[in-house]
Structure 1
Amino acid sequence: MAEEQAVKTISVKELTRKILDHEKVFILDARNTDDFDDWKIEGENVEVINAPYFDLLDGVESIVDKMPKEQNIYVVCAKGGSSEFVAEQLVEAGFPNAFSVEGGMKSWSEHLEPIKVGDLTGGGAIYQFVRIGKGCLSYLVESNGSCALIDTNRMLEPYEEFIKEHQLKLTHTLDTHLHADHISGGRKLAENHGAKYYLPPKDADEVQFEYNHVHDGDEYKIGDKTIKAIYSPGHTIGSTSYIVDNQYLLTGDILFIDSIGRPDLAGKAEDWVADLRETLYKRYKELADDLIVLPTHFMTHHEMNADGSVSEKLGVLFKENHGLNIESEEEFRKTVSENLPPQPNSHQEIRETNMGKITPEEEQQREMEIGPNRCAVR
């Protein structure tokens, strides 16, 4: 008797590349509908439908008419187990092109895809690590064999692999602010490499570990290039932007491509509205229009460039981003403090983890981060 053939699988890295390369992708999401409605795989050419696993235990007859015959079907669930069962059911029902997504939405949430944003003057480059399933963006600046990382995610392996592959020496890790939607890996990565970890002190009153302070106007030499800190409060009281090589403006969670940062994640919405407006409407207005804005988050795939990166010139955002064009201070206050989307999952526990107050196990950290980022005003 022939051995039963294993269900075909696809890694989240392979799936990410297909989406970023604008291939047509069909997703069958087998999670509960509430989870699907909260957060799903999306992309320019992605078609996704939801059919809960428990509805398919006795067969897939109810959905066969929705399945494409000539296209691969990528089945995803929470962790990768249920999707194998559903994919096997689809194969038996006459869809040999069904694949199970390895590791499910947990792996999707954690994948980091490095994309080169551009060259620095006279040598060096800046890379954006796109966390496509979470909407997080982190940055590696390299020059003359040295590098710095900004807003590092907790999954360190992709950064470690990149540093090793490019034979770089990590000298600095910097956070733009104390994050509330994802756990920072900056301090741990700095420890691994004997580098220095930096954090704005106004965000660090309750931090339980030693760190290097970031102040307005501070400059950091990375090889032959300079990263300059620009105090830009509003999302948090310590929020700090970084200008790299006088070309790139790393805005943290203050300014996004289609929106602006929310000031309520530390419970200080009313207190920080004026700071947010001051940063966006005065501090940033004084900067060069041709600076390329690189935020720490994106909301949807519509903010992505053709290569999957996320960026836009500051001058363009002042023309096109609604959050930068609210003339009335009262309307601005209402926009950023009322009718906000739900706060990120486990945001208080994530803040406490980033303060060093609690040290959850790795699996718990994964659970804390599951779901979309919600750092923007909608």
Structure 2
Amino acid sequence: MAVKAMKAGVLAKTVINKEELFILDVRNTDQYDDWKVEGDGIVTMNKPYFDLIEGVDDILDQIPADKEVLVVCAKEGSSIFVAEQLAEATGRDIHYLEGGMKAWSEHLEPVKVGDLDGGGSLYQFVRLGKGCLSYMIVSGNEGAMIDPLRLVDQYEAFANKLGIKVLHMFDTHLHADHISGGRRLAEATGGTYYLPPKDAGEVTFKFEPLEDGMEVTFGEANVRVKAVYSPGHTIGSTSLIVNDTYLFTGDILFLDSIGRPDLAGLAEDWVGDLRESLYVRYKNLDQDLLVLPAHFAKLKELDDQGRVFARLGDLYKENHGLMIDDEEEFRRVVSENLPPQPNSYQEIRKTNMGILTPNKEEETEMEIGPNRCAVS
């Protein structure tokens, strides 16, 4: 018997590959109910750490003998303690999640979406612990990022592995559920950070305005990134079309839902913009474009390779948010199905404006929990 660490990357592959795993989550019940590790092959059980300090005898009959066992907690320490007790009581190898749910929240799993016409490749970074999606486009020895997260060391390590330098950073909007890494990456590489100007009225740093219709071309294959103004989630929300093939929708359109218009307290004003973007602007685009959103809500949105994308025309037949013909009914459905606000969303917005400068621990705490950028 032994107690072994499991890294977040190993857990990510377990989830993507739909492998079986039993997870004993020893966080407090309210934390567990708000946010947990999920997957088709994952079975979870919650038993708070303080109920197990005197021993694990009461739960031994609930630990399956035919599945690998992983104990998780917030930051690691409690899970090691419980894993040691389980290993001793069962005579089995028991794993704990290295770094706890903090590490799970911050892990990015890179998945190749495909190759670009004319040369180049596209990668999607899947943040399984929070439902965030970000992207790296590679052309020769040059790269671009779309909606990068604050976890820039993971992007830099991947770029170094590919032997490229990332010089173009695009945010589709001013994010409210996670801290952007766009400005940090631009400063680290000497690159350019693009941000929609209508979202940047209070921004305290320099950026390149991402204006409707502008095109950025880069790399040996002359990859073309075109901006398409698509407000509704924010007043500045701007989609990106790459090589007339991929449509990066930010938080306007997801595979299974649509973006929420209320994170700046202007839902009544922005819901009309949201409908205009989804039912007019996007309807006028090539319906063969492949939609790549900035978030996903459910694991069923991942394909068998862990990728999240769909053909735009198919979403008009499958996504309930795109099938409400009456405008008043659309307004009612959106307003009545808004989930709770993301954790610390006002502080996150101010951080992305450069108004607040939290330390790393504060950033982690601000982002803990599920994403809530979609209409339920």
Q: TM-score, normalised by structure 1?
A: 0.97
CA distance in 2, matches of 1:52, 1:261: 35
Q: Tell me the percent identity.
A: 60
Q: How much has 1:6 moved relative to structure 2?
A: 6.4
**Shift of the alpha carbon at 1:95?**
4.7
Aligned-partner SS, 1:286 = coil
Per the alignment, residue 357 of structure 1 pairs with 355
Aligned to 1:49, which of 45, 54, 58? Answer: 45
Distance 1:14 1:60 in 2: 26
Question: Residue 181 of structure 2 corresponds to which residue in structure 1?
Answer: 185
Q: Do the aligned partners of 2:20 and 2:68 also contact (CA within 8 Å) in 1?
A: no
In structure 2, what is the equivalent of residue 375 of structure 1? 373
Unaligned residue ranges in structure 2 (runs of 5+)? none
Q: Which deviates more from structure 2 when the two are superposed, residues 59-68 or residues 363-372?
A: 59-68
- In 1: Cα distance, 2:279 partner to 2:246 partner: 19
- Give a deviation string over 1:126-176, Cα, whole Å, max 9, x none: 100001101000000111221100111001111001111111121210100
Of 275-284 and 21-30, the range deviating more from structure 2: 21-30
Instruction: Kindly report which structure 2 residues correspond to 1:231-246, keeping only aligned pairs within 5 A, or say none.
Output: 231-246=229-244
Does residue 117 of structure 2 align to residue 124 of structure 1? no
* Partner residue, 2:257: 259
User: Residues of 1 paired with 2:77 and 2:167: CA distance?
Assistant: 40
Q: Deviations over 1:201-222 (max 9, x none)?
A: 0001011111100011110112
Within 5 Å, give how 1:1-378 maps onto structure 2: 7-223=3-219, 224-378=222-376
Contact residue 71 and residue 97 of structure 1 kept, 8 A: no
Report the CA distance between 1:9 and its aligned residue: 1.0
Inter-CA distance 305–34: structure 2 relative to 1 (3 Å threshold): same
CA–CA distance in 2 between the matches of 1:97 and 1:305?
31
Paired residues of 1:142 and 1:222 also in contact (CA < 8 A): no
Letter aligned with residue 206 of structure 1:
E
Q: What is the distance in 1 between the residues matched to 2:31 and 2:205?
A: 36
Residue 181 of structure 1 deviates from its aligned partner by: 0.1
Contact 1:182-1:350 at 8 Å conserved across structures: yes
Q: Which moved more, 1:242-251 or 1:16-25?
A: 16-25
Q: CA deviation at 1:45?
A: 1.2
Kindly tell me the number of residue pairs found equivalent between the two proteins: 374
* Segments ≥4 residues shifted beyond 4 Å: none
**1:178-214 deviation per Cα after TM superposition (whole angstroms, max 9, x unaligned):** 0000000110111100100010000010111111000
